[in-house]
Structure 1
Amino acid sequence: MEPMPWELPPERARWRCPPQLVGYGCTEEIPPTREIIGQARAVRALQFGLRVKRRGFNIYVAGHPGTGRKTAILSFLEELAEGMPTPPDWCYVNNFKDPSRPRALRLPPGKGVAFKRAMEAFVEEMRRELRRVFESEEYARRREEVLKAVEEERGRLRREVDETASKEGFVVQRTPVGLIIAPIVEGRPITDRELAHLPEPIRREVARRKEALEEGLREALRRFRELDRRAKRLLVKLDREVARYALTPLLSELLEEYGDVEEVRDYLKEVEEDILENLPPILGREKQEAPFPLPGMEEDPTRRYRVNLVVDNSELEGAPTILELSPTYKRLFGVVEKVAKMGALFTDYTMIRAGSAHRANGGFLILPVEPLLSDPLAWSTLKRAIMNETLEIEDIVERLGLLSTKTLRPEPIPFDAKVILIGSPFLYLLLYNLDREFRELFKVKAEFDTVMDRNPENVKKYACFVSNLCRKEGLKHLDASAVAAVVEYGCRLAGDQRKLSTRFADLADVIREASFYAEEEGTQYVSRRHVEKALEEKVYRSNLMQERVREMIERGFLLIDVEGEEVGQVNGLAVIELGDYRFGRPNRVTATVSLGRDGIIDIEREAKTGGPIHTKGVLILSGFLSERYAQQVPLSLSARLVFEQSYSEVEGDSASSAELYALLSALSGRPIKQGIAVTGSVNQKGEIQAVRGINEKVEGFYEVCKALGLNGGQGVIIPESNVDNLVLRDEVLEAMEKGLFHIYPVKTVDEGIEILTGVKAGERLPDGSYEEGSINHLIQRRLIEMAERIKEYPD
């Protein structure tokens, strides 16, 4: 069969990558690289966002999954972070003045863990030293001297009291309830009952002298109490003096090591003062026991001197780069843990746990947007942390206002990290339009493209990507032919002969699978056949639905003709998407025309199975008919269009040209070749416009034709603007080379109708008519006849 003038040469239906374009015989020869491939715009935006230190210049990395956003950012930041200063360590310690507000201590990187261990060693050494000095003979001697001096004073005071009482005829008796004064009568103390039997004058005299004596006794008791207080003060002073003597060398060591940090210096002074204030429990002199003691319930009096190291950068070189894949409130901003004791919840500063934001302080925090937004508390707290430049660890129950209880409020930590969000362009648009704070806090957008230009430089970069992946994952290296096959697959993913896909995750999966087949064969390198097998197997695992549709067409359940001619009937093409797999299938489109005034009726719309874009495409057909054929007489027809055997929603305008061809065939009476399928949208001027999924549509119709029998007259009409999008399989190209299958790129409806009917479309003549015998002439004549006949049936 002679090729038609509009037929596409097979070599234009796919770009072939010459193996020599790779530049290496094998990826093993390619040196490692950290370059981010094909994302110059995004890299430039990242460099700008990371250099700017002003508040609000955080970064939103927009792009589709699989474009290497996460890998590229981590690789980019890894190199950048190495040259940045290592941020400080952070500890929480007890606030002795207000335990509900633990203090945050900043220490130089690596000093935090050392300080924690030093404090643990200090506590142990303090216990030993205090025990030693308080059990020493010197301490016992000095304590005895204090007690002896006080006891001598008490003895003198007792003698004074006894002498005074004796002079007045009384005796001071010491009882379990205190001191009492008893009168002496006839040389012996008498009781109150005996006193009551004495004469009234004697009783009054005894009462007078007793009252005067009790006044002196009260003064003596006050002096006794003052002696007790004095003894206690002297003992406390002694204990503090002895304890300070023991603590001074221990604290001096700590101050010598960490005293250059003012906060630590102040904290150690408070530790010393608190130990001196709490010597009795530390020494075990005061011990409160629960009424029903349980194992583990005993409180360690030295627990309050522990250091809670929440951020440890001792093993970090440079700035931290933290990727938090599950950015919940708790994982981002930490938590104050609690333990249950006898039905009650207990917590203290040692149970404070830091979050990813704390660990990223001084560096970079990378967060996926979608899971972040699913936790509104995490999102609002992140914005507050960026705006206030502080990190607060709050109890989530208290934050939500669900329970009003006294809990810890740790001192906030300054927040200085560059936050990088990773998400889709759609989420960026939503946040930008609906969240004003987002605009103020994330002023830099780094957008990752899904494609890059196909040029020799980028082909070599593809080879570098393959080499890096093989080294990183221990895969077999690819020879030049295999890399060429991967590059061609990159064109296929991009859907453009002039572009290469940057969906490196999909490319990596194919490379891994090809390496697996090479390992099975025991070859040294992965070759082109291994890549092609990986692609074939990938399709085979996912195309069950496509085979079922093809089988239904073969068995006649779905009516599709691929030979012969029919009036008002054409094969349109649609794409079915099944997640990871897409395939094209033909749909019979039919049109009927009758006399009437209804115009073009879209049956899909009437049945509510047509989407708005499809409805728009059908309405455009009315505009085309009116502009071309209704300049002299009005359109007087009722036409109906439908996708036959379509039981789901019909959406999109890529079949609008097919619907128009069916309508033109029905109006002209000229049959359409059923072996030629059609795709492409049309505008009111009759121009054919580009559509998506061109490869799947062409290959889908080819598969049906192959199943029903190739006869050399079958093919597909596509928009000429889609030619560069063709990256067809080898099997389709071979059929084209043998003349068994054809592709016809067209610019206008006239070109397409000529291919489908074999009849000339016809040019418009000066008088507004068309060439005799042409399609346009036949349609115009039919419409004029219908307009005349409609006059016979007035409204």
Structure 2
Amino acid sequence: MLKELPFDKLRRECDPKMMRCETTQQLEPLEGIIGQERAVRALKFGLDIKERGFNIYVAGYPGTGRMTAVKDFLEEVAKAKSTPSDWCYVYNFHNPYEPQAIRLPSGQGKVFQKDMTDLISEARRILPKAFESEDYSDKRAATVKAIEEERHNLIEQLNKKAQEEGFVLQSTPMGLLVIPVIRGKPVGDEEFLALSPKVKEEIQKRREKLDAELRNAMRQLRASEGKIHEELKKLNRDVAFYAIGHLVTDQKEKYKNFPEVIKYIEDVQNDLLENLTQFVKEPEAPTPFQFPWIKELPFRKYEVNLIVDNSELKGAPVIVELNPTYQNLFGRMEKEAQFGVLTTDFTMIHGGSLHKANGGYLALRVEAVLQNPLSWDSLKRALTSEEVAVEEPGERLGFISIKGLKPEPIPLDIKIVLIGNPLLYQMLYIYDMDFIELFKVKADFDTTMDRTEENMRKYAAFVCAFCRKENLEHLDALAVAKIVEYSSRIASDQGKLSTRFAEIADIIREANFYANQENARHVTANHVKKAIEEKVYRSNLIQDKIQDMVKRNFLLIDTEGEAVGQVNGLSVIGLGDFAFGRPSRVTASIGMGREGITDIEREAKLGGPIHTKGVMILGGYLTEKYAKDKPLSLSARLVFEQSYEEVEGDSASSTELYAILSALSGLPIKQNIAVTGSVNQRGEIQAIGGVNEKIEGFYEVCKAKGFTDKQGVLIPESNVQNLMLKEEIVEAVKAGKFHIYSVKTIDEGIEILTGIEAGRRQADGTFEKKTVNYLVDKQLRDIAEKLREFPEFTTEKPKKRIRL
């Protein structure tokens, strides 16, 4: 029975009244994610569970709004979370190569940084004055005087002793020299050498005795000088401590609840007291090569490097890192040139996204992470160790062995959300064992959602929110209805809406552009239609070229008449941003032989594996239906005429079967009807993809060559729900200029294509006469009988067995 589809089955329209508004300006903007209940449920679970390893992988395809939706969702969840701590790096006075990490409540890091800056500034102001005071000068003079008197008395005693022994002491840069005195005058070297041996021996004995006392006296002098140094040092420390002690005490009191800070402040105080000269040294005359920053270098170690500042944050941090290089994730240590040498210190440590997101959430595109060296392995290591360390990339790789900074690692409490496509998830799950343990939650983003009234109204709310966000003109109700219909077209399903909101957003932007060109107050349905049409026009150059070739008969496609063993098949050509249907002539030739069905596309290495499988199913169908009482003796050739690119998919398998049946039965196929649909061995027509593009492709060919009011397309009945055809085609069907037929079986399809009944199998196993199946069966029987006249074809050659 002929199953022609009425026009109202070809496109599901949207009633503008359903939007409950005149324009989207009257609506409440959408909040949250729509159409992703499964993903939202998984996200909530992954974010709430605190156990280790329950990080999240968001699996979905580009354009579904994964990144935006996840970011909005995370930000909403983060509002209810507590704000994490600030983190600082400070100088380690015990090991300068390992900067110390200090943790403070949010907002306190900036305060602590300022407090330390103020403390050092005040110390630099106070200390010079303290050492310039009269009180300090008096104490210093008294201390020096007492020790100098002791030193003077010791030297006097030593001189007296030397005189008694007949010597005089002479002070030189090398120390004290003992010079003999004869007749009241010091003896020089030449005079000493001229003395008699006996006199020299006597002098030498007295000198040795004096040398022993001299050495003892020198020890006392050095001890006296050391005493002076220690006494002055103690005096300086006491004066400095008295001068800045209240500053340190105030800070220790302020941070009494933070032991690490107290310990650091004490270390700063001790270092200040040990290095007072840098605070009170005499001003030096400027030199032509002196740089202003040089005099600040000694004070840099007292700075506080605030690498994580959450003072402005409300709730937990949400970071979306679009360029997850190793340094962007884990931080870096900058270098500066000093006199031709690159140097670094703890003040040049900068935190990465892991530091900023610590205590919150970090979203990453998995493709970008995998493309950046070190990032993936280092990220897994950080999640496993639950700490983040700032290291040189070369050190991580083992290329750098020189001594450098090794900052103290910071404890890591973070939830990672990876965003990628499902294929990458499967690959990581199979090939990376760490991935299984670290990303235990999968959130699948669907590309479609049910087209319910509630979801359609949410779509309108999305349009409202988008227009407000980007300051676009709002859409009227009919324009929103066309957006909904376009969404179903993208989904290729009357009962679904697309969740590829990026594509929907582009259409809204383009429609807004055309509305602005007309100075319209709001975007109308015509603007939406024009945006869709222009989007297609920018990409369909190749389609127009092919249509022109068909019109000029470069590509042979008949849209009227009949032909034996020839059917108009339909395929889809995808260009990335655009896909369109292309009719192709499929022909079958039949002859005697036992080769079975030969797929010329496969023999020419133009057929893909799925297409080859579809052709092989045809043999199963013929065997099942016609070879119950005889061997299937057939040599058939199938080909897509004028096809020079790869053929893949099984959507033309029913088309190829119709061509074979026509060739076997001798019944011509109507060329005004194009065919699509796959078939199984039972002869059931199965759904295919791209049904809208295929129908529209043949429609455009018929339009180019001229309508006869009999042209149409034969599709699987299961694809009727996928029809979202252009309004032009719906109008053509309504006017009787074009026709769409749906079939469930090969028998139904062959009746439409030939105008002859398919024919049922009777009780005796034969088919009804004057039917398609009867003629096919008769032809196959005739071929089998005729083959007996050729003995060389009756014996089958042994075939290679395939082990399964």
**TM-score bracket relative to the smaller structure:** over 0.9
What code does the residue aligned with 1:348 have? D
Match of 1:181 in 2: 178
Match of 2:492 in 1: 495
Deviations 1:180-232 (A, max 9, x none): 11122112221233223223322222111111110010011111111111111
RMSD of aligned C-alpha atoms?
Answer: 1.7
Whether 2:26 is the aligned partner of 1:47: answer no
Deviation at 1:33, TM superposition (A): 3.5
Kindly report which structure 2 residues correspond to 1:550-629, keeping only aligned pairs within 5 A, or say none.
Answer: 550-629=547-626
Aligned pair partner of 2:253 in 256, 266, 271: 256
Task: Provide the C-alpha distance between the structure 2 equivalents of 1:384 and 1:464, rounded to a whole number of angstroms.
Answer: 43
Aligned pair partner of 1:531 in 528, 532, 552: 528
Whether 2:262 is the aligned partner of 1:265: answer yes
What code does the residue aligned with 1:38 have? G
Aligned length: 792
User: Is the contact made by 2:511 and 2:531 (CA closer than 8 Å) also made in structure 1?
Assistant: yes
Aligned pair partner of 2:417 in 415, 420, 425: 420
Kindly report which structure 2 residues correspond to 1:237-248, keeping only aligned pairs within 5 A, or say none.
Answer: 237-248=234-245
What code does the residue aligned with 1:246 have? A
Deviation at 1:534, TM superposition (A): 1.3
Deviations 1:53-94 (A, max 9, x none): 111111111111111222222222222211211111111110
Task: Provide the C-alpha distance between the structure 1 equivalents of 2:193 and 2:596, rounded to a whole number of angstroms.
Answer: 133
What code does the residue aligned with 2:737 have? L
What code does the residue aligned with 1:69 have? R
Deviations 1:306-362 (A, max 9, x none): 111111111111111111111111111100111123332100000000001111011
Whether 2:123 is the aligned partner of 1:126: answer yes
Task: Provide the C-alpha distance between the structure 2 equivalents of 1:283 and 1:586, rounded to a whole number of angstroms.
Answer: 93
Deviation at 1:293, TM superposition (A): 6.0
Task: Provide the C-alpha distance between the structure 1 equivalents of 2:29 and 2:487, rounded to a whole number of angstroms.
Answer: 21
Match of 1:365 in 2: 362
Match of 2:372 in 1: 375
Kindly report which structure 2 residues correspond to 1:417-566, keeping only aligned pairs within 5 A, or say none.
Answer: 417-566=414-563
User: Is the contact made by 2:55 and 2:415 (CA closer than 8 Å) also made in structure 1?
Assistant: yes
User: Is the contact made by 2:90 and 2:346 (CA closer than 8 Å) also made in structure 1?
Assistant: yes
Identity %: 56
Deviation at 1:290, TM superposition (A): 12
Aligned pair partner of 1:732 in 724, 729, 732: 729
Task: Provide the C-alpha distance between the structure 1 equivalents of 2:279 and 2:556, rounded to a whole number of angstroms.
Answer: 93
Whether 2:204 is the aligned partner of 1:207: answer yes
Deviation at 1:377, TM superposition (A): 0.7
Deviation at 1:561, TM superposition (A): 0.8
Q: 1:295 to 1:306 in 2, by over 3 A?
A: closer
Report the secondary structure of 1:301's partner residue.
helix
Kindly report which structure 2 residues correspond to 1:737-752, keeping only aligned pairs within 5 A, or say none.
Answer: 737-752=734-749
Deviations 1:224-267 (A, max 9, x none): 11111111111111111111111212222322333322211111
Match of 1:159 in 2: 156
TM-score, length-scaled by structure 2: 0.96
Deviation at 1:557, TM superposition (A): 1.0
Q: 1:646 to 1:297 in 2, by over 3 A?
A: farther
Q: 1:261 to 1:122 in 2, by over 3 A?
A: same
Deviations 1:531-580 (A, max 9, x none): 11111111111111111110011111111111111111111101111111
User: Is the contact made by 1:280 and 1:286 (CA closer than 8 Å) also made in structure 2?
Assistant: no
Task: Provide the C-alpha distance between the structure 2 equivalents of 1:500 and 1:192, rounded to a whole number of angstroms.
Answer: 115
Task: Provide the C-alpha distance between the structure 1 equivalents of 2:88 and 2:518, rounded to a whole number of angstroms.
Answer: 57
TM-score, length-scaled by structure 1: 0.97
User: Is the contact made by 1:600 and 1:639 (CA closer than 8 Å) also made in structure 2?
Assistant: yes
Aligned pair partner of 2:190 in 188, 193, 202: 193
Report the secondary structure of 2:791's partner residue.
coil
Task: Provide the C-alpha distance between the structure 2 equivalents of 1:398 and 1:408, rounded to a whole number of angstroms.
Answer: 11
What code does the residue aligned with 2:679 have? V
Deviations 1:37-58 (A, max 9, x none): 1111111111111111111111
User: Is the contact made by 1:714 and 1:740 (CA closer than 8 Å) also made in structure 2?
Assistant: yes
Deviation at 1:25, TM superposition (A): 2.7
Task: Provide the C-alpha distance between the structure 1 equivalents of 2:47 and 2:264, rounded to a whole number of angstroms.
Answer: 36
Task: Provide the C-alpha distance between the structure 2 equivalents of 1:285 and 1:568, rounded to a whole number of angstroms.
Answer: 108
**Unpaired runs of 5+ in structure 2?**
793-804
What code does the residue aligned with 2:572 have? V
Report the secondary structure of 1:242's partner residue.
helix
Task: Provide the C-alpha distance between the structure 1 equivalents of 2:406 and 2:787, rounded to a whole number of angstroms.
Answer: 86
Aligned pair partner of 1:404 in 401, 405, 411: 401
What code does the residue aligned with 1:525 have? H
Aligned pair partner of 1:334 in 331, 334, 347: 331
Task: Provide the C-alpha distance between the structure 2 equivalents of 1:288 and 1:305, rounded to a whole number of angstroms.
Answer: 26
Deviation at 1:296, TM superposition (A): 4.8
Task: Provide the C-alpha distance between the structure 2 equivalents of 1:569 and 1:300, rounded to a whole number of angstroms.
Answer: 89
User: Is the contact made by 2:325 and 2:373 (CA closer than 8 Å) also made in structure 1?
Assistant: no
User: Is the contact made by 1:282 and 1:301 (CA closer than 8 Å) also made in structure 2?
Assistant: no
What code does the residue aligned with 1:68 have? G
Task: Provide the C-alpha distance between the structure 1 equivalents of 2:547 and 2:197, rounded to a whole number of angstroms.
Answer: 133
Report the secondary structure of 2:374's partner residue.
helix
What code does the residue aligned with 1:459 have? M
Task: Provide the C-alpha distance between the structure 2 equivalents of 1:284 and 1:752, rounded to a whole number of angstroms.
Answer: 103
Q: 1:105 to 1:213 in 2, by over 3 A?
A: same
Deviations 1:713-766 (A, max 9, x none): 111110100000000111001110111111111111111111111111111112
Task: Provide the C-alpha distance between the structure 1 equivalents of 2:412 and 2:710, rounded to a whole number of angstroms.
Answer: 71
Whether 2:676 is the aligned partner of 1:679: answer yes
Aligned pair partner of 1:92 in 81, 89, 101: 89
User: Is the contact made by 2:2 and 2:752 (CA closer than 8 Å) also made in structure 1?
Assistant: no
Match of 1:225 in 2: 222
Kindly report which structure 2 residues correspond to 1:252-401, keeping only aligned pairs within 5 A, or say none.
Answer: 252-284=249-281, 296-297=293-294, 300-401=297-398
Aligned pair partner of 1:643 in 624, 628, 640: 640
Deviates more, 1:183-192 or 1:222-231: 183-192
User: Is the contact made by 1:282 and 1:302 (CA closer than 8 Å) also made in structure 2?
Assistant: no
Task: Provide the C-alpha distance between the structure 2 equivalents of 1:251 and 1:786, rounded to a whole number of angstroms.
Answer: 109
Task: Provide the C-alpha distance between the structure 2 equivalents of 1:85 and 1:487, rounded to a whole number of angstroms.
Answer: 40
Q: 1:182 to 1:200 in 2, by over 3 A?
A: same
Task: Provide the C-alpha distance between the structure 2 equivalents of 1:669 and 1:133, rounded to a whole number of angstroms.
Answer: 118
Q: 1:220 to 1:287 in 2, by over 3 A?
A: farther
Task: Provide the C-alpha distance between the structure 1 equivalents of 2:703 and 2:653, rounded to a whole number of angstroms.
Answer: 26
User: Is the contact made by 1:496 and 1:727 (CA closer than 8 Å) also made in structure 2?
Assistant: yes
Task: Provide the C-alpha distance between the structure 2 equivalents of 1:639 and 1:440, rounded to a whole number of angstroms.
Answer: 55
Whether 2:719 is the aligned partner of 1:722: answer yes
Report the secondary structure of 1:302's partner residue.
helix
Task: Provide the C-alpha distance between the structure 2 equivalents of 1:290 and 1:608, rounded to a whole number of angstroms.
Answer: 82
Aligned pair partner of 2:114 in 102, 108, 117: 117
Report the secondary structure of 2:765's partner residue.
coil
User: Is the contact made by 1:363 and 1:417 (CA closer than 8 Å) also made in structure 2?
Assistant: yes
Task: Provide the C-alpha distance between the structure 1 equivalents of 2:677 and 2:48, rounded to a whole number of angstroms.
Answer: 47
Task: Provide the C-alpha distance between the structure 2 equivalents of 1:460 and 1:296, rounded to a whole number of angstroms.
Answer: 64
Q: 1:671 to 1:726 in 2, by over 3 A?
A: same
Deviation at 1:298, TM superposition (A): 5.2
Report the secondary structure of 1:92's partner residue.
strand
Whether 2:10 is the aligned partner of 1:13: answer yes
Whether 2:703 is the aligned partner of 1:706: answer yes
User: Is the contact made by 1:364 and 1:419 (CA closer than 8 Å) also made in structure 2?
Assistant: yes
